[in-house]
Structure 1
Amino acid sequence: MKLRQTIIGIVAGVFFVLGSVAQAQVLPKFGVKAGANYSTFNNTDNVEYKAGFVGGIYSSIKVPASPLTIQPEVLYAQYGAGIENSDAWFRVNYLQIPVLLKFGFNTPGVQPNVFFGPYMGINLNSEVKNESGSINLDDQAEGTDFGIAVGAGLDISKFNIGLRYTVGLKDVANDNFNDEAKNGAFALTVGIEF
């Protein structure tokens, strides 16, 4: 619990510092986004992709006199994987915090962009589930996740659409579970900026 509070404090501090620095030049913009995740576990056998939800808030901080934008986000992301030849699936829900560097192409109207950056995830709960019930796996799952997000999108006035792939760099399960499974997910999101 103390680790989660520390991480949340660090993230709040990053938002404050980025906002303060950006305010001297350009005011940050804020928005909300939501969409679908299509996730699995990489580096393991007998699993398949599973659909889930992703959504949350973000801030866009334009770097003056450049096509770059810094975009920190706080997302709720449902990850996991289906178990092959079974009606069961793993579900791992995260509070995910990406900090993306976005490169926008200056075109009139619709503006395409590409982005990449690191993310950190805080495990909110883990379970294996089927139609008849679920088993809690919080003791077998790592409390945090780290990885890289890369993707592309379109900005249309105050609206945006993005497609990204996130690849986890840390094992999902802890050492007691003895598995090297890492998160991997495609996500399609739509958002609006205020």
Structure 2
Amino acid sequence: MSEVRSVETGRRPRGFTQEQLDWVPWVEPIALADADETQRPLLEGDRGVGPYFRLLARNAAVLAHRSANDKEIFYGREGLSRAERELAATVTSRHNGCEYCASVHSRFTSALSKRTEDVQRLLDEGNGVRIDEKWDAVIDFVDALAANPPRADADHLKRLRELGFSEVELHDLVLSTASFSWANRLMLTLGEPEVPGGVSEI
């Protein structure tokens, strides 16, 4: 059976959530059994399970660069904390309206920061939410940087530096935002989020 379902049959989430969502592609992904020697290494482990990476594997060279980029930005050992990188991904996804990415990365943010209620407020109220001085500065900078055209300016950076962010941390914050601006656009143009079967509509 094809994994590509019509828009009419899917159940869209009613808003931003930390609950797990499915993602339904509008273009047929490759079947894992049909992956060639270039595609197969890119789909090892969990990446071969869902449709997203199997769809991106249709252009293996781009997926390889995307995966290396993601690993370097979100799993680097120095610089910005992983929780703050995930916060940037969540804020970017909230700005761009990507419910699927926001659900994934808000869960990471909650797990790493232990601030589930604050993360939920961000999802519920949007990027204008006020939480605390440090998170507010990150949210405001990321939201401004994710805008098209970007609105981030020297005042945003000055505020972050005054709160103790190093140049390396600021660099990581920029990369996290840029990476998810790209990821959101892929998710939003190639498919849509869906509430998993058997779960009440979120």
Q: What TM-score do the two structures reach when normalised by structure 1?
A: 0.27
Bigger relative contact order (CA 8 A; separation at least 6): 2
- In terms of fraction of residues, the more strand-rich structure is 1
User: Where is the helix percentage greater, Structure 1 or Structure 2?
Assistant: 2
TM-score scaled to structure 2, two decimals? Answer: 0.26
